[in-house]
Amino acid sequence: MDIIIVGCGKVGQTLAEQLNEEGNNITVIDLLPSKVNETAARYDVLGVVGNGATHITQQEAGIRTADLLIAVTGSDELNLLCCLIAKKAGNCQTIARVRSPQYSTEAPYLKEELGLAMVINPEQAAAAEIARVLRFPSALKIDTFAKGRVELLKFQLPEGSPLEGLAVKEISTKLHCDVLVCTVERGDSAYIANGDFRFMEKDVVSMIASPKNANTFFKQIKYRTNSVKDVMIVGGGNITHYLCEILNRSGIDMKVIEMDRERCEELAEELEHVKVINGDAVDQQVLYEEGIENTGGFVALTNLDEENILLSLFAKSVSKCKLITKVNRIDFDDVIRHLEIGTVIYPKNITAESIVRYVRAMKNTIGSNVETLYTIIKGKADAAEFIIKENSPVIGKKLMEMKLKPNVLVASILRDRKVIIPRGGDTIEVGDSVIIVSNFALHDIADILENR
């Protein structure tokens, strides 16, 4: 596919990297020559210096033959204008990043009237992910396949976990749980786990299961399965606004601590059901007075990564609450992963992943049959969902008889709304939704076979 990306910030660069790796032809546009040159050189893509909202710049970038334009500049209005011009100039699909809460309620209207394929709101998407984790606090991250019937959950083993020393193949016999372990992160190493793999303390485990079986599994290993009842949120930005709206529908009590008095008054007016405190959360006394020791969840959402990390480390030291930490910079994710500050939310990554999933769905209509794809471990493992069509070479063969490539795991089969955690004697049939975990890119279900 020919794709134009307007905006070479972190999201634009992440999109250029991921979409280029998947064989798309990428052209980036930005007003700053340094940004364009850096992105073009680092990811081996084409670059155009100019205003992406002008017809002449889009023409130079190849809008007439483009399949998709993605506008991810820092301005909502500029992104929408880029998409409007692209529709007129090239009649291609368009995606706009729109961040302002003022536009969030207008998103369906904007999408319809401007002919947008997708409107992505990073803060709203981040809030939705935070809310999912607060409802199931044992997990660090939750993704869904097959319209919510299959979940991909990531969690960390604490000290003294019943899983310590247990082999993957012993889960079904000793714990009587129908789940499938996909990957294990241990220090800086990552493994696609086979049956003989044994768990160790502090392993980060990704597994696939139906929601019901996942709940049973976490109860068996004595993990917390009930959603939190109350949450302390530090920072009063847009993510907090969206998160409070979502949590209110779940009946969760919320307390927001924000330094700026004017912003506190705005939040108190917009969110009548939320207790808003004007104070500096870096002052430990403020946190103690508001009950940090007994809170069910603690969410650090200030604009400073360093402050969020320190606040979560402090919350961890004085309570047993579920921790969620927002981090904007993605450069140091390997370092942050070792800090054990609960679930780390990267709004820029969430935005990029949502857009990449849409692009894959577009490609599905022109040859590729990947329905959904999630990154389990960045650069090391993905989970791809396929709908099995007629004449596929995997149909009817027992899994134990298939010659699969190394580091390929058939993780789940959904057939007639029934979730099957596959064993060697299971087969794949026409119409099945199949989830494959691998450490290399898959474009077709047949790519899992050795002789391809």
Tell me the CATH number at 71.
Answer: 3.40.50.720
Q: Select from 154, 107, 119, 190 the least CA-distant residue to 343.
A: 154
Backbone angles phi, psi at 257, to 5 degrees: -110, 120
In the Cβ-directed half-sphere of 201, how many Cα atoms lie within 13 Å?
Answer: 3
Domain count, the chain: 4
Query: How far from 376 is each of 209, 308, 359, 441, CA to CA, in Å?
Result: 15, 24, 18, 13
Three-state DSSP class for residue 292: helix
DSSP letter at 31 equals S
Residue at which a domain ends, from 220, 255, 271: 220
CA torsion, ordered 358, 362, 364, 367, to nearest 10 deg: -150
Banded pLDDT at 105 (limits 50, 70, 90): confident
Ranking 98-102, 147-151, 415-419 by mean pLDDT, the lowest is 147-151
For residue 22, give its domain range. Answer: 2-120
Q: Where are the alpha helices (DSSP H) in 230-377?
A: 238-249, 261-270, 284-289, 305-318, 333-337, 347-364
pLDDT of residue 364: 58
Reported in sequence order, the residue ranges of 146-215 that DSSP labels E, i.e. its strands, are: 150-156, 180-186, 189-192, 204-209
pLDDT of residue 71: 96
Three-state DSSP class for residue 132: helix
Whole-number Å distance between alpha carbons of 356 and 379: 15
pLDDT of residue 115: 87
Contact 204, 197 (CB under 8 A): no
Banded pLDDT at 150 (limits 50, 70, 90): confident
Residue at which a domain ends, from 86, 120, 154: 120
Whole-number Å distance between alpha carbons of 310 and 291: 18
Claim to verify: residue 108 and residue 171 sit in the same structural domain: no
Could you tell me if residue 126 is inside a domain?
Answer: no
Q: What is the CATH number of the domain that holds 414?
A: 3.30.70.1450
- Residue 307 identity (one-letter amino acid): E
pTM assigned to the model: 0.79
Claim to verify: residue 339 and residue 361 sit in the same structural domain: no
